């Protein structure tokens, strides 16, 4: 497959050098996706590399979740190519951890936190859970500070605890690529800070793709930022400006950069 470039699709943005000489984990080569006649993503060309944290930002309906679904192989591009680990995405699922924004489940079903995390060890259909699987799940629960909740019902957890349990599920399969779709939605600020700290730490050992609306945190958390609104532009975090955000969101937004603090202000 032809190696995808990091050339921006937004004509107002400049090209960005690749962060490493390693082979990319994710490659989009002029990929597009449509639902019928409705174009969701158009002519996306990008590469994401090992041990970097790329945040994906954009307004509602800009194609962010579709972008993740293409990486996961849940959707197929209607034009162009998408490769993960230089293979078709659906062949790479065992190496990917995925944290959805919401987990659809029946609150009346008696599933424990350990049960949820063990789902991350299942690589195919009706797979028998082994002692090794339980040990791995226990280790991840301990790493995320959830060991005391292992036997508690998932439905009994707070929003932040549930989100950590979903991250634990994603990590239980020992992924080298982690995808997170709005992982801090609907949780309190203190827990949000803990989740972001965990994500930053994970990015030192794996590639992380984070979908987020939190413009106050994304610049200091990420190596690069993907501005997505049907087409895309990549930015180094220090190069992202309020004008870039305004062009994408079609509203007056000022992004304020400081050495250790970033915030978003409405004009």
pTM, two decimals, is 0.81
Q: What angle do CA 235, 100, 134 make, to 5 degrees?
A: 120
pLDDT in tens, 207-264: 999 998 888 788 888 988 888 888 887 767 666 665 666 665 554 333 433 333 333 3
**Choice between 1 and 201, residue whose per-residue pLDDT is larger:** 201
Residue 122 confidence (pLDDT): 85
Residue 254 confidence (pLDDT): 37
CA-based radius of gyration for the chain:
19
Q: Which are the contacts of 230, defined by CB distance < 8 A and separation ≥ 6?
A: 39, 40, 41, 42, 62, 63
Domain-embedded: residue 11: no
> Could you tell me the CA-to-CA distances from 5 to 48, 145, 146, 216, 263 in Å, in that order?
10, 39, 40, 28, 31
pLDDT in tens, 21-79: 688 999 999 999 999 999 999 999 999 999 899 999 988 888 999 999 999 999 999 99
Domain-embedded: residue 12: no
pLDDT in tens, 147-158: 999 999 998 998
Residue 15: pLDDT above 50? no
Strands (E) across the chain are located at 26-35, 38-48, 53-57, 79-84, 96-99, 177-181, 207-211, 224-229, 231-236, 253-257, 262-266
Domain-embedded: residue 2: no
Residue 82: pLDDT above 60? yes
Domain-embedded: residue 123: yes
The CATH number linked to 255 is 3.40.50.300
Domain-embedded: residue 20: no
- Structural domain that includes position 175: 26-266
Domain-embedded: residue 192: yes
Residue 38 confidence (pLDDT): 93
pLDDT in tens, 116-149: 999 999 876 557 889 999 999 999 999 999 999 9
Total number of domains constituting the chain: 1
Domain-embedded: residue 201: yes
Token pair, residue 183, equals 């992982």
């Amino acid at each position: 497959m032809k190696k995808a470039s990091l050339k921006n699709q937004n004509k107002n943005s400049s090209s960005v050098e690749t962060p490493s000489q390693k082979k990319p984990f994710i490659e989009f080569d002029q990929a597009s996706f449509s639902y019928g006649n409705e174009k969701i993503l158009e002519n996306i060309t990008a590469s994401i590399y090992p041990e970097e944290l790329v945040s994906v930002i954009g307004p509602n309906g800009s194609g962010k979740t579709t972008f993740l679904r293409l990486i996961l192989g849940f959707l197929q591009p209607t034009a162009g190519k998408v490769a993960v680990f230089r293979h078709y995405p659906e062949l790479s699922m065992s190496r990917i951890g995925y944290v959805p924004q919401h987990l659809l489940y029946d609150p009346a079903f008696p599933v424990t936190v350990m049960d949820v995390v063990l789902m991350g060890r299942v690589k195919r259909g009706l797979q028998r859970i082994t002692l090794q699987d339980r040990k791995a799940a226990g280790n991840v629960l301990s790493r995320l500070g959830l060991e005391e909740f292992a036997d508690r019902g998932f439905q009994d957890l707070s929003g932040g605890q549930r989100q950590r349990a979903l991250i634990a599920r994603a990590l239980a399969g020992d992924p080298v690529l982690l995808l997170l779709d709005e992982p801090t939605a609907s949780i309190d600020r203190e827990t949000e800070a803990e989740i972001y700290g965990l994500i930053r730490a994970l990015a030192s050992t794996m590639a992380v793709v984070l979908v987020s609306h939190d413009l106050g945190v994304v610049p200091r958390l990420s190596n690069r930022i993907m501005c997505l609104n049907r087409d895309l532009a990549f930015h180094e975090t220090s190069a992202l400006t309020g004008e870039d955000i305004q062009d994408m969101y079609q509203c007056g937004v000022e992004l304020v950069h400081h050495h250790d603090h970033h915030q978003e202000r409405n004009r």
